[in-house]
Chain A
């Protein structure tokens, strides 16, 4: 296992007329033995960054180090990285078994050792029954598991995985995800894993690097990323249902800070410590208030800063529910965990957990 370090790494593609910057000056360190996830929407540069580390693409500028050794000028096979792709890249004439052990053909391992590794990986990914089949005889999910098996059977410094579970159905994905996590806990290999699925990222990662438009937005452990998103993009991307945002302004009234929504329907007393560092006693500041669905109380204690909303829609989903609430010009999504039931059009008094509100700058989107 080895540390991976990126220094000011950029990648741009030139077409006839314009230059497209896919990755713009990424600095990051993936520690030795860390499970790092690159998370972002399609086109954010996460896959390109991974391909730069693997050597499948050349950097436009910047440096990449693996285990302290500069690798960005080395050929892919000299970097000792193992890869698993979304689109399998299997050899069609070879069986699943031959595909999986293919990377070991040049190693010094004896046939006995290779076979025992194969059995271990195959049982782990439940591939025992399909080892003699060829890729064309397998479903998309199975092919993807072969590709993943071929990746983890190796002894590499770094394991790079690009959406390796995307073709599995949701049950299978859940199962393999858990095994992948267990595999990492046991072996402590350095893994860099690319996904657009925030649930997968939160579940697997030691740390998540969130990317958007070629830039690194935030890099943090899952709990911290969820609890303290650094900007509006991260706040909106991580979490399901997503965080609610209400445009408005912050201002002092005497010694007490308040938030008032743009449509003036929400007036909220704010905890002074939360805003003191960035809100001067004179004048106000335009912000977006952010509140997670689970931090909206649907049955608040009487008297406690509640405000009137109207239920737009209520979804009962087994043991939990999702409620959309109309508050002036804003629609808020809230979670209901208990046996409460609501109907559309019903007035409902709710409160926000004042400890949990976040404020983002109106212009930059940065967390205040």
Chain B
């Protein structure tokens, strides 16, 4: 078990800055997810920790000891790749025993047998040891790949989008498989992905990365319910959050948000009043999750009229789109099918759940 710390780590390729002064503290036994779009620098960070890639600047420590100056073989990190990289002509046992057979490890064959058996029992693949990879399901292969890494007792696991090559159904299933295994690892895991569901499901904490920089580090609840900026807010949820530009106006005692064209107006919650009061001259952006807005037939006072409405059934949910003035809103409701009386529909925003962002995209907080 080991903690990992990155102190102002940068990676430059010529003029291109792939990783820009990233500092992270990963606790022992923590499952830490680095989330970001393609090109955010996620994989570069992983490779630098593994010692596969040199760092341009900064320090990387594992258990307090600097590793960025050492050879990758000494770092003792187990990397798990997208395709598991099992040897097809070897049995599960041979695949798992392989890392222990390296000469310098000097492990006796009795000990190899013991360790493989122990790990296999732990991962519930004890009955598969004589099979070949082609005879395994996707979930079983994933377990074998993990098992092969576990027998080495590495100090940390590094996983680079291990599920991304699977089709949607299998990916979701394997994500839950991995979540089940998570507790039994007992080792720090650094897991890189662009899939927000994997991050929310698996992570103890998530670091959101954009253009080589860390935007936010926090628990899944932190990043989902208190995103620091529009980038983080847009990364979580499907459909993505609706970002509506507008202004803050006074309406009697209260403040209201008013979209640019004036078509969508809803109250600002009291707890945000102090923070938004002095924003009246600025443009602000309201972030409305598709789950925080719905279409109703009985308009609450001041509700905006829907001009155009579309539904997309998606099985257990119903995705809807409503156009209000120039604003289009994506909505995700529980009920299938459009409400009755399509010609008189109104938008109801759950005003308590709306986020507000300043002109530079940072969330305006309760002060």
Chain A residues, Cβ within 8 Å of B316: 239, 292-294, 335
- Given A174-B238, A240-B168, A202-B314 contact (CB < 8 Å): yes
User: A63 to B103, alpha carbons, bound, how many Å?
Assistant: 67
When each residue 62-81 of chain A gets 1 if its CB lies under 8 Å from chain B and 0 otherwise, what string results?
Answer: 00000000000000000000
Quote the shortest CB–CB distance from B213 to chain A (angstroms). 20
User: A229 to B264, alpha carbons, bound, how many Å?
Assistant: 40
Chain B residues, Cβ within 8 Å of A239: 315-316
- Does A178 contact B310, Cβ atoms closer than 8 Å? yes
Quick check: is B359 within 8 A (CB to CB) of the other chain? no
Name B's interface SS: mixed
Which of A107-115, A154-162, A248-256, A310-318 participates in binding chain B? A310-318
By a beta-carbon cutoff of 8 Å, the part of chain B in contact with chain A is 37, 167-169, 172-173, 175-176, 179-180, 183, 197, 200-201, 220-221, 224, 234, 236-240, 289, 291, 308, 310, 312-316, 319, 321, 330, 334, 336-337
User: A313 to B313, alpha carbons, bound, how many Å?
Assistant: 28
Chain A residues, Cβ within 8 Å of B37: 169
User: A135 to B38, alpha carbons, bound, how many Å?
Assistant: 21
Chain A residues, Cβ within 8 Å of B240: 171, 174
- Does A337 contact B312, Cβ atoms closer than 8 Å? no
Across the A-B interface, the 7 shortest Cβ-Cβ residue pairs:
A203-B312, A315-B201, A294-B316, A222-B313, A318-B224, A239-B315, A313-B180
In chain A, what residue has the closest Cβ to B199? A317
User: A11 to B201, alpha carbons, bound, how many Å?
Assistant: 44
- Does B238 contact A240, Cβ atoms closer than 8 Å? no
Quick check: is A58 within 8 A (CB to CB) of the other chain? no
Chain B residues, Cβ within 8 Å of A174: 238-240, 330
In chain A, what residue has the closest Cβ to B175? A315
- Given A178-B312, A318-B236, A319-B291, A203-B319 contact (CB < 8 Å): yes
By a beta-carbon cutoff of 8 Å, the part of chain A in contact with chain B is 169-171, 174, 177-178, 181-182, 185, 196-199, 202-204, 222-223, 226, 238-242, 292-294, 312-313, 315-319, 322, 324, 335, 337, 344
29 residue pairs A–B, Cβ–Cβ below 8 Å: A174-B239, A177-B312, A178-B312, A181-B310, A182-B310, A199-B168, A203-B312, A203-B314, A203-B319, A222-B313, A223-B336, A223-B337, A226-B313, A226-B315, A226-B336, A240-B169, A241-B173, A292-B316, A312-B180, A313-B176, A313-B180, A315-B200, A316-B200, A316-B201, A316-B221, A319-B224, A319-B291, A324-B180, A337-B334
User: A223 to B310, alpha carbons, bound, how many Å?
Assistant: 15
Instruction: For B172, give its contact among A178, A223, A240 (CB under 8 Å).
Output: A240
- Does B220 contact A316, Cβ atoms closer than 8 Å? yes
Quote the shortest CB–CB distance from B313 to chain A (angstroms). 4
In chain A, what residue has the closest Cβ to B220? A316
